[in-house]
């Protein structure tokens, strides 16, 4: 489980967003431990005050996919958002709760990225602390100041 830094305002997260695009992570190197996982690094971690945290990185998946933008979302247990999603689930069912999370995470990603990086929902995965949601999009390349 990554250590989540102190939540920040959307404007602060937006200013930090370009740093998440600087490096490309090779998944095989991360798996073998020769490269640190981006979710362990603060520059890829975007914590919001309601308990949602986004992790954003550029990753090389090898052939046939190549480089992609990877966005993952996690909800902090017992946070305001966690309680809200549990209420939605009890009221309208688990699928409604998951759709709510997907919509919220996509909206937040659009706000911090400036809407310049389209992403597509891929899957949920189980973690030691619940689950994470995952999106992929085309590699946006390095931030403009580095091209």
Question: Domain of 34?
Answer: 10-138
Alpha helices, H only, the chain: 10-16, 27-32, 80-92, 94-113
Residue 36 contacts residue 30 (beta carbons within 8 Å): yes
32 within some domain: yes
pLDDT value, residue 21: 95
Residue 47 contacts residue 4 (beta carbons within 8 Å): yes
Task: Tell me the pLDDT tens digit for each residue of 90-144.
Answer: 999 999 999 999 999 999 999 999 988 899 999 998 777 777 999 999 999 998 7
144 within some domain: no
**Of 52, 53, 69, 58, which is closest to residue 117 (Cα–Cα)?**
69
Q: How far apart are CA 96 and CA 89, in angstroms?
A: 6
pTM over 0.85: yes
104 within some domain: yes
Number of domains in the chain: 1
Q: Give burial (CB, 10 Å; 0-12/13-18/19+) of 35.
A: middle
Task: Tell me the pLDDT tens digit for each residue of 44-69.
Answer: 999 999 999 999 999 998 888 899 99
């Amino acid at each position: 489980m990554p250590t989540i830094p102190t939540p920040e305002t959307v404007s602060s997260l937006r200013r930090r967003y370009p740093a998440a695009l600087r490096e490309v992570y090779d998944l095989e190197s991360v798996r073998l431990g020769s490269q640190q996982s981006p979710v362990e690094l603060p520059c890829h971690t975007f914590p919001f005050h309601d308990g949602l945290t986004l992790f954003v990185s550029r990753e090389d998946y090898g052939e046939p996919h190549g480089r992609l933008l990877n966005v993952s979302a996690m909800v902090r247990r017992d946070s305001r958002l966690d309680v809200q999603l549990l209420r939605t689930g009890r009221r309208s069912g688990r699928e409604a709760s998951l759709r709510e999370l997907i919509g919220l995470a996509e909206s937040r990603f659009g706000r911090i990225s400036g809407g310049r990086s389209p992403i597509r929902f891929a899957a949920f995965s189980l973690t030691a602390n619940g689950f994470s949601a995952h999106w992929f999009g085309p590699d946006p390349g390095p931030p403009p100041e580095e091209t």
